[in-house]
Chain A
């Protein structure tokens, strides 16, 4: 049995439970999303699908998002990436690596009072565009940066 199918089954099962809980009024949707792990989004393979799985429709390019990362990463196992957003009411920041087996790498909820800034390290299988997807005031915005990888961080 292949793993993707299993994951899909698992996450759809989780979503069903969640939906029941929402209908029953046990959890408000925003609480549920914050507490849960969005398996559907982490299983996606393209940037557009990821944004969709996170609940966004069309996303617009924005110059108010900065991705700080090396142009050339020698080691794909550890690529430092930081994202900051100047968009008003930034609610979440996600980091997507287009050519990784699964696009979505990390997603951060930014509550009020926390800077629209995160820094972390991700693995990259090969040279790829890295996207930052920011949800601000309910809308989705993206920025992109190409990172060349000398030594891949997946497989092996």
Chain B
């Protein structure tokens, strides 16, 4: 089971700035192990951010996003105390959702 994400959501003027640090190996599929066999790719494919039932960001990623991916974005319409939920799904079907409360 994957480690929880670290999510920070804070008001920046009238917008909410969200910063997410995910814990994922993001294996490219390009590397070989000590015996020369390919290490299969294992990476996050989809990321969605939802606020009050509305998707505020949807991402598709390839294996070239860095290990333990970082993501930052801003959206309008959020208020302190409300929640932002981030979900990722990887190419093996693993999934994780975490939530953060918007701070003022």
Q: B28 within 8 Å of A by Cβ?
A: yes
Nearest A-chain residue to B17, judged by Cβ? A115
CA distance in complex: A80, B68 (Å): 13
Q: Digit string of B24-62 for contact with A (CB within 8 Å is 1, else 0)?
A: 001011110000001000000110000000111111111
CA distance in complex: A135, B94 (Å): 30
Judged by DSSP, the binding face of B is strand
Also in contact, A108 and B58, with CB within 8 A (given A3-B38, A118-B72): yes
- Asked whether, in the complex, the Cβ of A120 is within 8 Å of the Cβ of B70, the reply is yes
Q: Tell me the smallest distance from the CB of A36 to a CB of chain B, in Å.
A: 8
Q: A42 within 8 Å of B by Cβ?
A: yes
Q: B103 within 8 Å of A by Cβ?
A: no
- Asked whether, in the complex, the Cβ of B72 is within 8 Å of the Cβ of A102, the reply is no
Judged by DSSP, the binding face of A is mixed
- Asked whether, in the complex, the Cβ of A101 is within 8 Å of the Cβ of B30, the reply is yes
- Asked whether, in the complex, the Cβ of A119 is within 8 Å of the Cβ of B31, the reply is no
Q: Tell me the smallest distance from the CB of A20 to a CB of chain B, in Å.
A: 21
CA distance in complex: A107, B63 (Å): 12
- Chain B interfacial residues counted at CB < 8 A: 32
- Asked whether, in the complex, the Cβ of A114 is within 8 Å of the Cβ of B70, the reply is no
CA distance in complex: A106, B57 (Å): 13
What is the count of residue pairs linking A and B with beta-carbon distances less than 8 angstroms? 108
- Asked whether, in the complex, the Cβ of A154 is within 8 Å of the Cβ of B58, the reply is no
- Asked whether, in the complex, the Cβ of A114 is within 8 Å of the Cβ of B56, the reply is yes
Q: A19 within 8 Å of B by Cβ?
A: no
Partner of A123, one of B28, B56, B72, B74: B28
- Asked whether, in the complex, the Cβ of A121 is within 8 Å of the Cβ of B15, the reply is no
Q: Tell me the smallest distance from the CB of A2 to a CB of chain B, in Å.
A: 10
- Asked whether, in the complex, the Cβ of B64 is within 8 Å of the Cβ of A102, the reply is yes
Q: A25 within 8 Å of B by Cβ?
A: no
Q: Tell me the smallest distance from the CB of A144 to a CB of chain B, in Å.
A: 17
- Asked whether, in the complex, the Cβ of A119 is within 8 Å of the Cβ of B65, the reply is no
Among A100, A109, A121, the most chain B Cβ lie within 10 Å of the Cβ of A121
- Asked whether, in the complex, the Cβ of B64 is within 8 Å of the Cβ of A110, the reply is no
Q: Tell me the smallest distance from the CB of A132 to a CB of chain B, in Å.
A: 14
- Asked whether, in the complex, the Cβ of B57 is within 8 Å of the Cβ of A120, the reply is no
Tell me the B residues contacting A by CB distance below 8 Å: 15, 26, 28-31, 38, 45-46, 54-67, 69-77
